[in-house]
C-alpha cells in the first residue's frame, strides 16, 4: 500500500513539474501575448483587419449551418405531425381534397409539401435531408439580397452570419409550417426586386413579379409588400406600358386557374385562400371559433380551433397579463350561398373604434412579445433561446424607427426597404386581419436585422466636422506631394479620366456604395 501511495505522489509531482514547464514555455520571456504573435506566421500579422472579420463571419456561418442541420435531424418534422403541422402535411399529401379547410389555406405550401412527400415517400431521413437543405439555403438567399441592398460585401456577409444563427429561423424547420417556405421566398422576392431596380429590364421586372406572386400564395402578408415594391419600381423605371401589360398577363396565368378552383369548390373568387374565417375570429373577440360548412349535396364539415396566443402570458414574468377574449363564436356557412353567410356572420360584430383599439392593442402585444408556436418547446436549448429572444424585437423596432428618421436623407436608394418594413408593421400589427401570434413575427426579424445594418452604415458615413477637416488637410498634403513627385501630371490626369470612364455608372436612385 505504501509503495502504491509513493508511486501516486511521484506521478503527481511529475505532472505538476510538466505543467509548470509547459506554462513557462507558452509564456516565454515577453508574456503570453508576444508568444502568441511569435507562433502566428509572419505574413498573417500583416493581413488586413477586414480579412480577420471575414474569417470570423464565415466561421459563424459554418456554425449556423451545423446548428440547422443538427436541429432538423435531431428533431425531424415527421416526428411532429399534430395540430397545424398535421393539417399542412395532410393537405399536401392528399392532393385531391376539396374540403373547406384545404381551400382556406394558401395553395403554395400545399404544393411544396406534396413535392416533398413525393420525393421522400415520407421517409424521415430524406425529409430531414431536403428540409435541412432549405434551412441552410434561406440565409444565403437573404445574403444575395443584402449584396444588392447594402453598400458593401462585408455588411452583406454579416447579414448572412446573423440570419444563420438566428434561433427563430432555425427551430421552425423542425415543423411543417408555412414560414419554412415563406422565409426563402421572401428573400428571393426582395433579391429580385433590388436586382430589377439595378437592371431596369423587362425580364428582371417579370421575375420580380413572379416571385412575389409565389410568396403571396404562401402567406398573405407578402401581398401588400409586393404591391408596395412593384408599384414603387414601376413608377421609377422606363417601359411602363410593357411591364404593366406583361405583369398583368403573368398574374392572370397564375391567379386565373386558382380563382376558378376556389369558385368551383366554395363559390368564392379567392385565389390566395379564403380569409373570412380568420377575419370573423378576430372581430368576434372570442377565445375560440366553431364553423360548420354545409353543401347542397348533403356534405358537411365542422371545424373548431383557437389561437395559441390566447393560452399564453406574453409578458411573463414581468406581468401576468393575458387576453381578454372569452367564449366561442359560431357560424354556419352554406357553401352554395357564396359570401352571403360570411357577410351576415361578420355583420354581427361591427368594427367600432373601441373594438378596433382593443383588438389592435392586444394584437401588437402578441406580435412583438408572443412566443413563437410551435417552435417554443423549452426543453430544447435552441427553442428555449428562441422563446426568450422575443424581448429583443420591440426595442429594436423602436430604435430602428428613430435611426431611420435621423438618417432618412442619407438612405437615398435604400428608402424603399424602410418603406417595406413600415408596410409590414402597418399591415401585420395595425390592420385588423388576424389574431396575431409570435410566429407571424419571423419575416420581420430578418427585415429588422437588415435594416439595422443599413442604418448603422448610414450613420457611420456621418463624419464629424473636426475629423472632416483633418481628412481635408491630409488630402491637401497628399496633393502637394503628388505635385512634387509626378513627372507628367497631364498624363496622370488623362489616365484617371480613362479609369473613371470605365467604372459602371450608378443610377441616381441607387443605394450609396
Q: Are 290 and 329 in contact (CB under 8 A)?
A: yes
Q: Which residues sit opposite 293 in a β-bridge?
A: 301, 333
- The contacts of residue 402 (CB under 8 Å, 6+ apart) are none
DSSP 87-103: HHHHHHHSTT--SHHHH
Residue 45 phi/psi, 5° resolution?
-70, -25
Q: How far apart are CA 266 and CA 100, in angstroms?
A: 7
Report residue 232 as a C-alpha cell: 414603387
Long-range CB contact pairs, 361-364, < 8 A, 24+? 362/323, 362/324, 362/325, 363/429, 363/432, 363/435, 363/436, 364/429, 364/430, 364/436
Q: Are 278 and 433 in contact (CB under 8 A)?
A: yes
State which residues of the chain have pLDDT below 70: 1-9, 11-12, 14-15, 19, 22-47, 461-513
Q: 178-223 pLDDT, tens per residue?
A: 999 999 999 999 999 999 999 999 999 999 999 999 999 999 999 9
pLDDT at 512: 38
Give the H/E segment covering residue 395. Answer: helix 393-406
Q: How far apart are CA 389 and CA 392, in angstroms?
A: 6
Among candidates 219, 224, 231, 230, which has minimal Cα distance to 184? 219
Q: Are 100 and 274 in contact (CB under 8 A)?
A: yes
Other Cβ atoms less than 10 A from the Cβ of 485: the count is 7
pLDDT at 459: 85
> Is the link from the previous residue into 181 a cis peptide, with omega within 30 of 0?
no
Count CA atoms closer than 13 A to 462's CA, side-chain side.
11
pLDDT at 501: 38
Distance, C-alpha 101 to centroid of its chain = 27
Report residue 259 as a C-alpha cell: 380563382
Among candidates 440, 454, 456, which has minimal Cα distance to 168? 440
pLDDT at 51: 87
Q: How far apart are CA 434 and CA 306, in angstroms?
A: 12
Q: Are 307 and 435 in contact (CB under 8 A)?
A: yes
Q: How far apart are CA 229 and CA 424, in angstroms?
A: 12
Q: Which residues sit opposite 331 in a β-bridge?
A: 291
Amino acid at each position: 500500500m505504501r509503495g502504491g501511495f509513493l508511486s501516486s505522489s511521484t506521478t503527481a509531482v511529475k505532472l505538476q513539474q510538466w505543467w509548470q514547464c509547459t506554462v513557462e514555455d507558452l509564456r516565454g520571456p515577453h508574456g503570453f501575448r508576444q508568444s502568441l504573435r511569435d507562433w502566428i506566421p509572419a505574413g498573417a500579422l500583416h493581413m488586413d483587419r477586414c480579412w480577420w472579420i471575414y474569417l470570423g463571419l464565415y466561421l459563424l456561418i459554418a456554425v449556423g449551418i451545423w446548428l440547422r442541420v443538427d436541429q432538423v435531424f435531431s428533431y425531424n418534422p415527421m416526428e411532429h405531425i399534430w395540430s397545424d403541422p398535421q393539417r399542412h402535411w395532410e393537405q399536401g399529401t392528399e392532393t385531391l381534397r376539396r374540403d373547406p379547410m384545404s381551400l382556406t389555406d394558401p395553395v403554395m405550401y400545399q404544393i411544396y409539401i406534396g413535392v416533398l412527400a413525393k420525393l421522400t415517400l415520407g421517409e424521415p431521413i430524406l425529409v430531414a435531408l431536403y428540409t435541412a437543405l432549405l434551412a441552410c439555403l434561406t440565409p444565403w438567399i437573404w445574403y444575395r439580397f443584402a449584396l444588392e441592398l447594402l453598400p458593401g460585401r462585408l455588411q452583406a456577409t454579416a447579414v448572412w452570419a446573423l440570419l444563420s444563427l438566428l434561433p427563430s429561423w432555425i427551430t421552425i424547420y423542425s415543423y411543417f409550417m408555412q414560414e419554412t417556405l415563406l422565409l426563402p421566398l421572401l428573400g428571393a422576392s426582395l433579391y429580385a426586386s433590388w436586382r430589377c431596380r439595378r437592371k431596369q429590364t423587362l425580364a428582371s421586372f417579370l421575375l420580380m413579379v413572379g416571385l412575389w406572386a409565389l410568396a403571396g400564395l404562401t402567406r398573405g402578408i407578402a401581398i401588400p409588400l409586393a404591391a408596395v415594391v412593384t408599384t414603387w419600381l414601376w413608377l421609377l423605371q422606363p417601359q411602363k406600358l410593357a411591364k404593366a401589360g406583361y405583369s398583368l398577363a403573368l398574374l392572370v396565368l397564375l391567379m386565373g386557374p386558382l380563382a376558378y378552383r376556389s369558385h368551383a369548390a366554395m363559390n368564392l373568387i379567392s385565389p390566395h385562400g379564403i380569409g373570412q374565417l380568420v377575419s370573423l375570429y378576430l372581430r368576434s373577440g372570442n377565445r375560440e371559433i366553431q364553423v360548420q360548412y354545409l353543401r347542397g349535396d348533403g356534405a358537411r364539415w365542422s371545424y373548431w380551433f383557437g389561437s395559441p396566443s390566447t393560452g399564453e402570458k406574453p409578458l411573463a414574468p414581468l406581468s401576468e397579463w393575458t387576453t381578454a377574449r372569452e367564449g366561442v363564436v359560431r357560424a354556419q356557412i352554406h357553401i352554395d350561398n357564396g359570401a352571403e353567410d360570411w357577410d351576415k356572420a361578420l355583420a354581427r360584430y361591427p368594427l367600432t373604434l373601441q373594438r378596433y383599439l382593443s383588438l389592435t392593442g392586444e394584437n401588437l402585444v402578441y406580435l412583438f412579445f408572443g412566443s413563437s408556436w410551435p417552435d417554443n418547446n423549452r426543453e430544447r436549448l435552441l427553442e428555449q433561446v428562441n422563446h426568450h429572444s422575443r424581448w429583443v424585437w420591440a426595442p429594436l423596432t423602436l430604435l430602428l424607427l428613430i435611426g431611420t428618421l435621423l438618417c432618412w436623407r442619407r438612405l437615398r436608394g435604400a428608402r424603399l426597404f424602410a418603406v417595406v418594413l413600415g408596410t409590414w408593421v402597418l399591415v401585420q400589427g395595425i390592420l385588423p386581419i388576424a389574431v396575431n401570434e409570435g410566429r407571424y413575427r419571423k419575416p420581420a426579424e430578418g427585415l429588422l436585422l437588415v435594416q439595422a445594418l443599413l442604418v448603422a452604415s448610414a450613420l457611420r458615413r456621418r463624419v464629424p466636422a473636426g475629423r472632416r477637416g483633418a481628412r481635408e488637410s491630409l488630402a491637401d498634403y497628399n496633393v502637394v506631394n503628388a505635385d512634387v513627385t509626378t513627372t507628367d501630371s497631364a498624363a496622370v490626369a488623362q489616365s484617371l479620366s480613362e479609369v473613371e470612364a470605365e467604372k459602371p455608372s450608378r443610377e441616381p436612385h441607387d443605394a450609396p456604395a
